[in-house]
Amino acid sequence: MGRRTTIILDEDVYEMLVNESIKRYGTSKAISRVINDIVRKSIGYRRYLRELVLSEPQAFVDEEEFGKFRRELGKRIMKR
């Protein structure tokens, strides 16, 4: 069972939620479901991005190695 709360929405946000509710569920009375879906996705993406940023690097390339790669790539591009 969910909890009830009151939020104050701007008119344009409310209209978008009503339209999304009708599109997804065929009724304007499912706004809470739409909001729950949006909040869940938003929190999930933030959690994923935070873990990605704070995780150990997957690879390391030093400046010299990167410089060699750039020069090689530049030569290949100029040949075309």
User: For residue 49, what pLDDT is reported?
Assistant: 86
Higher pLDDT among residues 64 and 57, named by residue: 64
Structure confidence at residue 47 as a pLDDT band (50, 70, 90): confident
Q: What is the pTM of this model?
A: 0.57
User: What CA–CA distance (Å, rounded) separates 3 from 1?
Assistant: 7
Q: What is the mean pLDDT of residues 14-32?
A: 96
Mean pLDDT taken over the chain = 92
User: For residue 39, what pLDDT is reported?
Assistant: 93
User: What CA–CA distance (Å, rounded) separates 13 from 6?
Assistant: 15
Q: What is the mean pLDDT of residues 11-34?
A: 96
